């Protein structure tokens, strides 16, 4: 018997921030930049940063300049698969009734077969060994901007970030 489950999720959104000290003085270091209408060659300087997938960011936009909205970036998608392959063998053991007591006026007792089932199974989580990355770093002043810094957990309860896990099982039922 083969059982499988496949789950696909589109990439989660993430916030992009300037990473600069709090310029507004409100105590929150999560200011968002503005998009500057500059060509890539002109996007050079301490307060601007060019990112190919978005364009040129202005890290210190002037008053009245609209900043980018929250959750402007989109992280990588993820996929999870589980696979279980199993095989069951049935065994029947016939028991004898020799020496068994019979009621005087009751029906004769027939032998009762004993049934045994032996099952071998292999269960794999992420059998294709596909890594699922967490949302990327959204700090524009970080050298790791746009790069995921960890693996994303799976749909299985717990913080399982391993890439592949294979479990083998033998089960005897009677």
pLDDT tens per residue across span 13-60: 999 998 887 766 776 768 899 999 889 999 988 889 999 999 999 998
pLDDT given at position 173: 93
Of residues 174, 170, 172, the one with CA closest to residue 122: 170
Of residues 78, 165, 80, 168, the one with CA closest to residue 124: 165
Q: Which range (50-64, 79-93, 154-168) has the least confidence?
A: 154-168
pLDDT given at position 103: 58
Rounded CA Rg of the chain: 31
Q: Answer whether 0.75 is exceeded by the pTM.
A: no
Apex 133 CA angle, 131 and 135, nearest 5: 170
pLDDT mean over 159-172:
82
Structure tokens at 143: 């050298």
pLDDT given at position 108: 59
Q: Judge whether residue 98 has pLDDT over 60.
A: no
pLDDT band of residue 159 (cuts 50, 70, 90) is low
Q: What does the domain layout of the chain look like in residue ranges?
A: 1-11+76-174, 17-67
């Amino acid at each position: 018997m083969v059982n499988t489950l496949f789950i696909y999720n589109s990439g989660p959104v993430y916030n992009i921030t300037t990473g600069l000290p709090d310029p507004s003085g409100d105590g929150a270091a999560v200011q968002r930049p503005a998009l500057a209408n500059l060509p890539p060659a002109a996007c050079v300087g301490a307060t601007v940063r060019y990112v190919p997938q978005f364009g040129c960011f202005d890290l210190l936009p002037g008053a009245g300049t609209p900043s980018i909205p929250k959750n402007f970036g989109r992280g990588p998608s993820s996929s999870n698969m589980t696979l279980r392959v199993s095989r069951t063998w049935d065994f029947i053991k016939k028991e004898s009734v020799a020496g068994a007591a019979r009621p005087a006026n009751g029906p004769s007792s027939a032998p009762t077969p004993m049934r045994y089932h032996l099952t071998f199974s292999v269960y794999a989580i992420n059998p294709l060994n596909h890594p699922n990355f967490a949302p990327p770093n959204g700090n524009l002043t970080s050298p790791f901007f746009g790069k995921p810094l960890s693996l994303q957990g799976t749909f299985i309860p717990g913080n399982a970030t391993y890439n592949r896990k294979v479990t083998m099982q033998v089960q005897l039922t009677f």
